[in-house]
């Protein structure tokens, strides 16, 4: 249970004065995407069940201002800049009721002037009597709001403030500006935030006093108040002392949760898993390639972990095409030879089936019994697989996350491999451990995301890391070119020549926006265009296709029946067609660096020379140009990840939709990476001194975990 002291902060925003149903709905819309808490309301719509969440006071506290309104400078109308919030002293010249047009009520306008110029105050659905009292003709008023131009006329729609000149002292000289959503004013958000700040309880200090003093930090509550009461633009920067203090709090909660997860896993008695290596040798001897030095090193580290009586907690981090799957298979072969079973969990059914094909092909010389279990296996077939699994007749089971979420009984699970593909994050690992699932199994997590060390700490700080930083021998570099979109016809001509030569091509369509439907429309438009030229040799896959249809199209492409595959980014990870040698990415300037690198990794897997064409729309912005140049000049995924972090910041690396990285609400990387290192050291020190977070300091740190919604970590601590 969350401590009662924090209850006021987790109350819904509707408990605040002035927040009615309309404002509450708008705040839900504004803050809901960032809320990690429980899904609350269920709405029915034509597309099915839509889950929404209610905003709470804590979400308002984390909703930071991004700008300032400075009312100390009060210009004339003529001097005021358009598209900015300005504060003016004006005389009310005339009221212009709008009347009705075509059955609709026109906006109510009030003409005001100041001797240099005039503008109209515009009100929609306003009460005329209220406006006549607020703005009496002939009198002077101080007004503040956004100055706009419409149809050649200056106007200020719905001013934020209207006061008598002598009441302008009630206007805040400096007002924070918050990110908004349509229909929600800055004043409404500011008042709601002020209400949330006022509800802050008196919280004890959880950071070491000497560390607080050394950094010149205020308390948690004072820091929150300072962040929401900025005086200058410097107060909005990540380097502001109040922001740094709260960023450290958030990072400490993150690192403490990871350290608790690690401690919980390590505390559970493992068992040594060792084997002479007969099965592994059978697989390696039949491989059409030699293992790289990096693969050999990773296997040695995995073997050493598995031989220990403590649980293995290892991350296998490898760039695209670096051979993670074969390393995982060889580790699973050791577990099977030692008398156990192994499981490989993939993030999607498509990738689970891809793994099945690869692993069956490589595992056949060792006579390993491999089966697949996804949502598609039903009825008698499913029951038969579950019986075989329970009876020990299956050596390796491959499936989706359902493997660990359903009541599936293994005969003796020795090794669990999670192919994370950056979609299975810290919270899920905490939840698995809280349920005690896989308690007797070693854990190997694979990721194709070559994260910088900074981000590794935030997502995988509980795991030891093995890095595959070599490509298999014989792999040729992918030739990468940037081409402007106005040369599209030349590119299509080149595609035709490549198809005639027997090549297969991916054509990835642009990321239009966060709308899957718009992305789909762009893909279907390009598909129709290419189909005119290439007929039925063109296929299309996208996220809206049913699983069976998607698999069927991919199977035709893999079999060489299709020469061109038009796709959204659904083919970004895991798809392996060695004969595909050309990757065309349309509107490449809209993609992140890491995503471009992942997409390019779909080619260059066979013997043929492969190429990647980055089609971009001119003119390119400076950062977009730099991004494309990085991809063109290097194939080193780890270098690309570092550049991505530098150019986009930690919150955007890979895009939060595809990333398992924690969505920090206060902390910002790389700006706060020094604080991250300090938080990691402090978390480990605290757990060394207080393994169960007992005593007064321990209780305060538990409060911190609850505050940043790391409840699973506290449950693990109690279960331990």
Give pLDDT tens digits for 120-164.
Answer: 999 988 889 999 999 999 999 999 888 999 988 999 999 988 988
Indicate the residue among 420, 441, 468 that finishes a domain. Answer: 468
Reading the block at residue 293, the tokens are 């030095």
**Residues 516 and 613 grouped into a single domain:** yes
Whole-number pLDDT of residue 654: 33
Number of domains in the chain: 4
Report the alpha-carbon distance of residue 567 to residue 519 in Å, rounded.
Answer: 10
What three-state secondary structure class fits 371? strand
- pLDDT confidence tier of residue 568, bands split at 50, 70 and 90: confident
Indicate the residue among 439, 468, 497 that finishes a domain. Answer: 468
First to last CA, the chain: 16
**Residues 57 and 79 grouped into a single domain:** no
> Which CATH number is 141's domain given?
2.40.50.140
Q: What is the mean pLDDT of the chain?
A: 85
Q: Is residue 357 part of a domain?
A: yes
CB contact at 8 A, 302 and 464: no
In this structure, the chain runs to a length of 720
- pLDDT confidence tier of residue 455, bands split at 50, 70 and 90: low
- pLDDT confidence tier of residue 656, bands split at 50, 70 and 90: very low
Whole-number pLDDT of residue 658: 36
* Separation in Å, CA 93 to CA 89, 121, 139, 166, 353: 13, 11, 8, 19, 73
**Residues 288 and 302 grouped into a single domain:** yes
Q: Is residue 114 part of a domain?
A: yes
CA-nearest of 489, 448, 443 to 306 is: 443
Rounded to the nearest angstrom, the gap between the alpha carbon of residue 551 and the centroid of all alpha carbons in its chain is 26
Counting beta carbons within 10 angstroms of the beta carbon of residue 82, is it exposed (0 to 12), middle (13 to 18) or buried (19 or more)?
exposed
Q: Is residue 572 part of a domain?
A: yes
Whole-number pLDDT of residue 430: 56
For residues 634-661, average pLDDT:
59
Report the alpha-carbon distance of residue 612 to residue 482 in Å, rounded.
Answer: 9
- pLDDT confidence tier of residue 515, bands split at 50, 70 and 90: low
Between 374 and 642, the higher pLDDT residue: 374
Instruction: Return the DSSP state at 669.
Output: T
**Residues 451 and 340 grouped into a single domain:** yes
User: What is the tens place of the pLDDT at every residue in 177-210?
Assistant: 999 888 888 889 999 999 999 999 999 999 999 9
CB atoms within 10 A of CB 127: 11
**Residues 501 and 421 grouped into a single domain:** no
User: What is the tens place of the pLDDT at every residue in 234-244?
Assistant: 999 999 999 99
For residues 211-240, average pLDDT:
95
458 has pLDDT over 90: no
Report cis status (omega within 30 of 0) of the bond before 582. no
Report the alpha-carbon distance of residue 506 to residue 608 in Å, rounded.
Answer: 15
Q: What percentage of the chain exceeds 70 in pLDDT?
A: 85
Reading the block at residue 584, the tokens are 């065309």
Whole-number pLDDT of residue 50: 41
- pLDDT confidence tier of residue 592, bands split at 50, 70 and 90: confident
383 has pLDDT over 60: yes
CA-nearest of 336, 353, 300, 623 to 468 is: 300
**Residues 64 and 88 grouped into a single domain:** no
CA-nearest of 270, 243, 296 to 668 is: 243
Between 534 and 39, the higher pLDDT residue: 534
Q: Is residue 650 part of a domain?
A: no
**Residues 317 and 412 grouped into a single domain:** yes
Q: Please name the residue that has the structure tokens 């809320």.
A: 35
For residues 6-13, average pLDDT:
95
- pLDDT confidence tier of residue 598, bands split at 50, 70 and 90: confident
> Which CATH number is 280's domain given?
3.40.50.300
266 has pLDDT over 80: no
CB contact at 8 A, 316 and 328: yes
**Residues 462 and 579 grouped into a single domain:** no
Q: Is residue 713 part of a domain?
A: no
Reading the block at residue 211, the tokens are 């560390």
Whole-number pLDDT of residue 44: 38
Indicate the residue among 416, 448, 468 that finishes a domain. Answer: 468
Question: 296-300, 440-444, 690-694: lowest mean pLDDT where?
Answer: 440-444
**Residues 500 and 605 grouped into a single domain:** yes
Beta bridge partners of 288: none
Q: Is residue 233 part of a domain?
A: no
Q: Is residue 568 part of a domain?
A: yes
CB contact at 8 A, 523 and 550: no
**Residues 24 and 132 grouped into a single domain:** no
**Residues 108 and 128 grouped into a single domain:** yes
Q: What pTM did the predictor assign? A: 0.68
Q: Is residue 124 part of a domain?
A: yes
Domain that holds residue 552: 479-634
CB contact at 8 A, 86 and 160: no
174 has pLDDT over 70: yes
Between 232 and 269, the higher pLDDT residue: 232
Please give the full DSSP string across 465-507, using - where no structure is assigned.
Answer: EEEE--PPTTPPPPEEEEEEGGGHHHHHHHHHHHHHTT-EEEE
**Residues 53 and 76 grouped into a single domain:** no
Give the CA dihedral 492, 493, 495, 501, nearest 10 degrees: 170
Strands 538-541 and 153-157: unpaired
- pLDDT confidence tier of residue 429, bands split at 50, 70 and 90: low
């Amino acid at each position: 249970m969350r401590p009662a002291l924090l209850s006021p902060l987790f109350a819904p925003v509707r408990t605040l004065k002035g927040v009615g149903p309309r404002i509450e709905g708008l705040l839900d819309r504004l803050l809901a995407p960032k809320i990690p808490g429980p899904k609350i309301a269920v709405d029915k719509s034509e597309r099915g069940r839509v889950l929404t969440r209610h905003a709470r006071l804590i979400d308002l506290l984390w909703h930071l201002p991004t700008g300032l309104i400075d009312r100390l400078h009060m210009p004339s109308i003529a001097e005021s800049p358009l598209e900015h919030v300005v504060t003016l002293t004006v005389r009310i010249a005339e009221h212009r009721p709008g009347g009705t047009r075509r059955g609709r009520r026109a906006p109510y306008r009030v003409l005001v002037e100041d001797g240099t110029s005039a503008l109209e105050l515009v009100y929609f659905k306003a009460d005329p009597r209220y406006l006549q009292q607020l703005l009496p003709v002939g009198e002077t008023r101080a007004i503040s709001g956004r100055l706009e131009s419409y149809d050649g006329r200056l106007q200020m729609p719905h001013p934020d403030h209207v006061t008598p000149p002598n009441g302008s002292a009630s206007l805040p000289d400096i007002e924070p500006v918050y990110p908004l959503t349509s229909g929600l004013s800055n004043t409404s958000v500011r008042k709601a935030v002020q209400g949330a700040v006022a509800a802050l309880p008196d919280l004890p200090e959880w950071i070491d006093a000497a560390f607080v003093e050394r950094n010149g930090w205020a308390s948690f509550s004072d820091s929150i108040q300072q962040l929401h009461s900025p005086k200058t633009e410097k107060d909005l920067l990540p380097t502001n002392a109040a922001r740094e203090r709260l960023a450290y709090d958030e990072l400490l909660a993150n690192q403490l949760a990871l350290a608790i997860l690690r401690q919980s896993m390590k505390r559970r008695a493992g068992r040594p898993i060792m084997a002479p290596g007969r099965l592994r040798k059978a697989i390696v001897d039949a491989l059409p390639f030699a293992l790289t030095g990096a693969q050999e090193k990773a296997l040695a580290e995995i073997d050493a972990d598995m031989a220990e009586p403590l649980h293995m907690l290892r991350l296998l981090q490898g760039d695209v095409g670096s051979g993670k799957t074969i390393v995982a298979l060889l580790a699973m072969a050791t577990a099977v030879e030692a008398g156990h079973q192994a499981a490989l969990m993939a993030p999607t059914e498509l990738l689970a089936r891809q793994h099945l094909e690869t692993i069956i092909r490589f595992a056949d010389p060792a006579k390993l019994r491999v089966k697949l279990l996804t949502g598609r296996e039903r009825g008698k077939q499913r029951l038969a697989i579950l019986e075989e699994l329970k009876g020990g007749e299956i050596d390796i089971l491959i499936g989706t996350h359902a493997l660990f979420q359903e009541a599936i009984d293994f005969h003796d699970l020795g090794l669990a491999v999670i192919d994370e593909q950056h979609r299975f994050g810290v919270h899920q690992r905490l939840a698995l451990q809280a349920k005690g699932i896989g308690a007797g199994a070693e854990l190997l997590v694979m990721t194709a995301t070559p994260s910088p060390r900074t981000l590794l700490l935030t997502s995988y700080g509980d795991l030891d890391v093995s890095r595959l930083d070599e490509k298999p021998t014989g792999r040729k570099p992918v030739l990468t070119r940037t081409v402007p979109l106005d040369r599209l016809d030349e590119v299509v001509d080149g595609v035709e020549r490549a198809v005639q030569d027997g090549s297969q091509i991916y054509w990835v369509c642009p990321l239009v926006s966060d709308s899957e439907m718009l992305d789909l429309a762009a893909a279907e438009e390009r598909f129709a265009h290419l189909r005119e030229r290439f007929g039925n040799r063109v296929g299309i896959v996208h996220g809206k296709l049913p699983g069976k249809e998607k698999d069927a199209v991919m199977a035709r492409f893999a079999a060489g029946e299709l020469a061109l595959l038009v796709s959204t980014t659904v083919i970004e990870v895991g798809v392996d067609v060695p004969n595909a040698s050309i990757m065309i990415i349309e509107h490449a300037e809209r993609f992140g660096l890491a995503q471009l690198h992942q997409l390019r990794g779909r080619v260059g897997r066979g013997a043929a020379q492969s190429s990647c064409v980055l089609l971009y729309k001119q003119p390119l912005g400076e950062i977009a140009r730099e991004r494309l140049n990085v991809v063109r000049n290097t194939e080193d995924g780890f270098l690309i990840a570092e550049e991505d972090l530098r150019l986009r910041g930690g919150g955007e690396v890979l895009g939060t939709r595809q990333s398992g990285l924690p969505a920090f609400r206060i902390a910002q990387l790389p700006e706060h990476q020094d604080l991250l290192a300090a938080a990691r050291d402090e978390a480990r020190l605290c757990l060394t001194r207080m393994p169960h977070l007992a005593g007064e300091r321990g209780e305060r740190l538990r409060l911190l975990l609850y505050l940043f919604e790391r409840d699973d970590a506290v449950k693990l601590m109690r279960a331990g």
